[in-house]
């Protein structure tokens, strides 16, 4: 399978094309739009979420609720484009309007300066419109398609927020507990931790600052052997890390025990293997996070993702004005104080895309009945 996305933050629309989906995959658009609504929610989100409620449309590749086997095209129209058309139109723009929206006080931590230098631009808007996390809306929509493909095989994805700006949810949760995370304001499952996190976010917003955090994503039901030990590019953990690191503001990914492996011995880290005639090979621990040798081992996949504080601060940081090279305060765009709940939804979508690709590569299949039959035959 292959996913391509396009579109600018304040452009006409965001678009995704998914190639390689088998025929006869039933798609429920309500589930996709529910995920889009969740992406726009969460404590600490900014004003744009009130301007437009995202809804995806299918333009190609689906008839009567089922995929045809041809490329599936998804689209989310940006309602805010009406306020930006005079300076974001693909056709000739109003030069005065463009000048008013020009951004040259480049923001530390953003793609502004590096992108301007790379693409020889005088206006950071030509960079930030694509660098913006607005792009993740269409990835969530595409992820909704991939999740339904995986769900048809019995593979489910969930997650929760385990830290916000130093406030930790230290609970130990079963997979089914993760469903409750979508009903909370922060994505945390510990009520006391959530209240502390909300207070921290409120203070950070008051200070004109932003907050980051950590999300845990879990996958249940994926059989062993997906990914490949024989070629480094096909290792499942490498592909998951690449996908998750491609999300805006993500600066770190852990699999299983993660960085803690560096401070422990082998006996403390590796999952011992047992065998029982009724259930075959099994492990009583899962410190590897469901992946060994770059392949799924049948246990739950456990991933943690670290998100940096959003680089657009209402009280801007020290920077330089690109044209004059003079000292300046970084530009302030409409922004969130905290978007960690959104990261949970986005990360689930990206994990779904990565796993669907791994499944399709191993199983092939022109139709969903072929995919299901091949999956059921695996040990």
Any idea where the domains of the chain sit in the sequence?
Answer: 2-376
Give the residues across from 250 on adjacent strands: 307
Instruction: Answer whether 0.75 is exceeded by the pTM.
Output: yes
Confidence (pLDDT) at 313: 87
Pair of tokens at residue 337: 């104080």
Low-confidence ranges of the chain (pLDDT < 50): none
- Alpha-carbon distance of 129 to 100, in angstroms, equals 15
- Alpha-carbon distance of 213 to 167, in angstroms, equals 9
H or E stretch covering 359: helix 340-363
The CATH architecture that domain 2-376 belongs to is 4-Layer Sandwich (3.60)
Q: Is residue 102 helix, strand or coil?
A: coil
Phi and psi dihedrals of 131, rounded to 5?
Answer: -70, -20
Q: Are 189 and 171 in contact (CB under 8 A)?
A: yes
Confidence (pLDDT) at 60: 98
Pair of tokens at residue 25: 């995959």
Q: Are 72 and 61 in contact (CB under 8 A)?
A: yes
Nearest-CA neighbor of 143 among 361, 354, 358? 354
Pair of tokens at residue 303: 């991933």
Q: Is residue 26 helix, strand or coil?
A: strand
Q: Are 280 and 286 in contact (CB under 8 A)?
A: no
Pair of tokens at residue 318: 């020290």
CA distance between the termini of the chain: 24
Q: How many CB atoms lie within 10 A of CB 182?
A: 18
Confidence (pLDDT) at 339: 94
CA angle (123 as vertex; 121, 126 as ends), nearest 5: 75
Question: How confident is the prediction for the chain on average, in pLDDT?
Answer: 95
Phi and psi dihedrals of 328, rounded to 5?
Answer: -155, 170
Phi and psi dihedrals of 365, rounded to 5?
Answer: 105, 130
Confidence (pLDDT) at 46: 73
Confidence (pLDDT) at 273: 96
């Amino acid at each position: 399978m292959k996913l391509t996305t396009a579109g600018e933050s304040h452009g006409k629309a965001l678009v995704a094309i998914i190639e390689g989906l088998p025929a006869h995959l039933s798609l429920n658009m309500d589930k996709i739009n529910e995920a889009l609504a969740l992406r726009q929610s969460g404590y600490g989100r900014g004003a744009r979420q009130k301007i437009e409620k995202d809804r995806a449309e299918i333009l190609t590749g689906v008839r009567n609720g089922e995929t045809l086997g041809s490329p599936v095209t998804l689209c989310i129209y940006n309602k805010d484009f009406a306020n930006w058309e005079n300076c974001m139109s693909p056709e000739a723009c109003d030069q005065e309007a463009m000048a008013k929206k020009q951004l040259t006080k480049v923001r530390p931590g953003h793609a502004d300066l590096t992108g301007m230098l790379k693409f020889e631009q005088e206006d950071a808007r030509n960079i930030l419109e694509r660098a913006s996390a607005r792009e993740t809306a269409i990835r969530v929509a595409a992820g909704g398609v991939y999740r339904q493909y995986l769900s048809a095989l019995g593979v489910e994805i969930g997650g929760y927020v385990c830290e916000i700006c130093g406030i930790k949810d230290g609970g130990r949760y079963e997979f089914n507990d993760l469903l409750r995370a979508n009903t909370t304001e922060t994505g945390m499952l510990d009520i006391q931790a959530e209240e502390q996190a909300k207070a921290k976010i409120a203070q950070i917003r008051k200070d004109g600052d932003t907050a980051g955090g950590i999300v845990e994503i879990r996958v249940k039901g994926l059989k062993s052997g997906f990914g490949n030990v024989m070629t480094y590019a096909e290792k499942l953990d490498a592909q998951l890390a690449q996908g998750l690191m491609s999300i805006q503001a993500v600066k770190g990914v852990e699999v299983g025990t993660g960085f803690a492996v560096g401070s422990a011995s082998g006996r403390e880290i590796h999952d011992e293997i047992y065998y029982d005639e009724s259930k075959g090979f099994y492990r009583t621990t899962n410190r590897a996070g469901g992946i060994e040798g770059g392949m799924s081992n049948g246990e739950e996949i456990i991933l943690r993702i670290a998100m940096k504080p959003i680089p657009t601060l209402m009280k801007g940081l020290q920077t330089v004005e690109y044209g004059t090279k003079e000292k300046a305060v970084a530009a302030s765009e409409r922004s969130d104080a905290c978007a960690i709940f959104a990261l949970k939804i986005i990360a689930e979508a990206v994990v779904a895309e990565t796993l669907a690709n791994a499944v399709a590569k191993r199983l092939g299949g022109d139709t969903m009945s072929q995919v299901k039959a091949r999956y059921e035959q695996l040990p």
